[in-house]
């Protein structure tokens, strides 16, 4: 329930009750002390019931309203039948007070508004009708007759207390729907901006890759060719020149290899025109060698993940396969790519010799592969696990959440 409406109802309830009490048992009234005590007790009971309900009772009982933002009519939270029980209790105590005096009819204003707010439409109509009948009966009993004056007031009161609430409620729902729409628009705009940023990053990387390829890499290739030609042209006895030319060729070749590796990082060729599953399938097929059979399994319907995730999964597969070929002595290696509702998983399993993932790499270089894989995946909020034991094979499992703005 909108907070303003809630406060207004509380105020209306308290003021109606106080006003009725003043008129019925206040100073100068001719009510017996016994009746006064009963009216006071019933009033306290009514106020307590009201307070308990507002502190924690019911949800609207009709499903149509429940689908809407809960705060629109939910005074309390909890089970839907509770509103009905709470309003039933309030109405019963109120009807008892009405038996003493029709002045308590003022309480019909907040009560009828609550019927409309918390009950399903049909039940609300019945409740308002019953409430109006109680007021009419009390007025009739007080006047000793049932005429237009006894009917018109309560009927008008019922309309006055329910129609504005209905109007307010529909305005509130509309504003809630608009709020939700604006929130959705903001999310979509952010996703769009992110994908534009990503496209920009990718384009810049590819431009850099082209530049490096066309300048540094081409230059190094030329240097190597010239050095080889120089070496070939050297007289056989120019051993110092030969030695230096060979050293220069080696340095240039190593730098060219490094440069190519960097180019590959910037713009991984397998993903330029091929979707990830196809790129992985080709990679896995190419990794088969004598004594090692490989298989690729795709599960789920592929959806776009964005370049960063694609590249990360490709790199992880490359490194895991390199490890299988380099260390595992396996007969079989299976790569599985699985598109789930909320994430993508990649598993690389081999039946090779396995190792203890807790131990540091035996290679004196330290081994960067597993560390790099984990870093790549964790940068994208994913997780990488390596399960292995000596003689038990190895399973590398990467899991990536679907990036924002990507819909499955």
Ligand X SMILES: Nc1ncnc2c1ncn2[C@@H]1O[C@H](COP(=O)(O)OP(=O)(O)OP(=O)(O)O)[C@@H](O)[C@H]1O
Binding site for ligand X (CB under 6 A): 323-324, 326-328, 350, 352-355, 361-363, 367-371, 394
Count the site residues for Mg ion by CB under 5 A.
2
Own/partner pairs, 156-162, CB within 8 angstroms, 24+ separation: 157/105, 157/108, 157/109, 157/112, 157/132, 158/108, 158/112, 158/128, 158/131, 158/132, 160/109, 161/108, 161/109, 161/110, 161/112, 161/113, 162/112, 162/113, 162/115, 162/116, 162/128
Q: How far is the CB of 350 from ligand X (least distance, A)?
A: 5
Q: How far is the CB of 334 from ligand X (least distance, A)?
A: 12
Structure tokens, 216: 């540094």
Which one of 102-110, 175-183, 273-281, 320-328 is the stretch in contact with Mg ion (CB under 5 A)?
320-328
| Binding partner selected for residue 363 from ligand X, Mg ion, none, CB under the kind-specific 5 to 8 Å limit | ligand X
Give the span between the Cα atoms of 355 and 266, in whole angstroms. 32
User: Which residues, 6 or more positions from 83, have their beta carbon under 8 angstroms from its beta carbon?
Assistant: 57, 58, 59, 60, 61, 75, 76, 118, 119
| Shortest-Cβ-distance residue relative to ligand X | 369
Q: How far is the CB of 369 from Mg ion (least distance, A)?
A: 3
Structure tokens, 155: 């009927």
Choose between 90 and 313: whose C-beta lies nearer to Mg ion. 313
Choose between 32 and 362: whose C-beta lies nearer to ligand X. 362
For position 153 contacting Mg ion by CB under 5 A, the verdict is no
| Binding partner selected for residue 324 from Mg ion, ligand X, none, CB under the kind-specific 5 to 8 Å limit | ligand X
Choose between 237 and 289: whose C-beta lies nearer to Mg ion. 289
Choose between 56 and 326: whose C-beta lies nearer to ligand X. 326
Choose between 213 and 353: whose C-beta lies nearer to ligand X. 353
Out of 101, 249, 323, 394, the residue judged to bind Mg ion by CB under 5 A: 323
Judged on CB neighbours under 10 Å (0-12, 13-18, 19+), 401 is middle
Hey, how many other C-beta atoms are within 10 angstroms of the C-beta on 338? 14
Q: How far is the CB of 395 from ligand X (least distance, A)?
A: 9
- DSSP H or E run through 258: helix 239-266
Out of 369, 387, 401, 405, the residue judged to bind Mg ion by CB under 5 A: 369
Strands (E), 104-207: none
Q: How far is the CB of 314 from ligand X (least distance, A)?
A: 16
Q: How far is the CB of 333 from ligand X (least distance, A)?
A: 8
Choose between 75 and 323: whose C-beta lies nearer to Mg ion. 323
Instruction: Tally the C-alpha atoms within 13 A of residue 407's C-alpha that lie toward its C-beta.
Output: 4
Q: Which residues bind Mg ion (CB under 5 A)?
A: 323, 369
């Amino acid at each position: 329930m909108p907070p303003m409406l809630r406060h207004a109802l509380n105020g209306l309830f308290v003021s109606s009750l106080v006003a009725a009490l003043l008129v019925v048992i206040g100073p100068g009234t001719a009510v017996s002390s016994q009746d006064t005590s009963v009216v006071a007790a019933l009033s306290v009971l009514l106020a307590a019931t009201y307070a308990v309900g507002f502190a924690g009772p019911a949800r609207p009982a009709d499903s149509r309203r429940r689908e809407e933002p809960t705060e629109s009519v939910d005074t309390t939270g909890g089970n839907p039948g509770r509103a009905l029980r709470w309003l039933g209790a309030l109405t019963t105590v109120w009807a008892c007070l009405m038996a003493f005096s029709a002045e308590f009819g003022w309480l019909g204003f907040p009560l009828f508004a609550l019927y409309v707010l918390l009950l399903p439409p049909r039940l609300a109509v019945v409740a308002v009708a019953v409430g109006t009948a109680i007021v009419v009966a009390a007025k009739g009993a007080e006047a000793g007759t049932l005429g237009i004056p006894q009917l018109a007031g309560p009927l008008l009161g019922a309309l006055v207390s329910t129609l504005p609430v209905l109007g307010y409620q529909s305005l509130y729902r509309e504003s809630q729907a608009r709020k939700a729409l604006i929130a959705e628009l903001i999310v979509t705009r952010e996703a769009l901006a992110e994908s534009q940023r990503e496209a920009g990053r990718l384009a810049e990387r590819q431009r850099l890759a082209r530049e490096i390829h066309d300048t540094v890499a081409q230059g190094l290739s030329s240097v190597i060719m010239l050095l080889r030609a120089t070496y070939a042209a050297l007289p056989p006895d120019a051993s110092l020149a030969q030695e230096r030319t060979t050293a220069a060729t080696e340095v240039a070749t190593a730098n060219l290899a490094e440069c190519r590796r960097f180019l590959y990082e910037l713009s991984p060729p397998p993903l330029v025109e091929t979707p990830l599953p196809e790129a992985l399938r080709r990679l896995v097929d190419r990794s088969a060698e004598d004594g090692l059979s490989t298989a690729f399994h795709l599960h789920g319907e592929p959806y776009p993940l964005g370049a960063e995730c694609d590249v990360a999964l490709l790199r992880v597969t490359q490194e895991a396969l390199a490890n299988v070929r380099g260390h595992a002595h396996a007969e079989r290696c299976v790569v599985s790519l699985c598109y789930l509702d909320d994430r993508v998983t990649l598993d690389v399993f081999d039946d090779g010799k396995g190792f203890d993932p807790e131990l540091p790499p035996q290679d004196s270089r330290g081994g960067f592969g597993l560390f790099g894989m984990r870093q790549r995946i964790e940068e994208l909020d994913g997780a990488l696990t390596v399960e292995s034991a000596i003689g038990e094979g190895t399973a590398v499992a990467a899991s990536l959440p679907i990036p924002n703005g990507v819909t499955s």
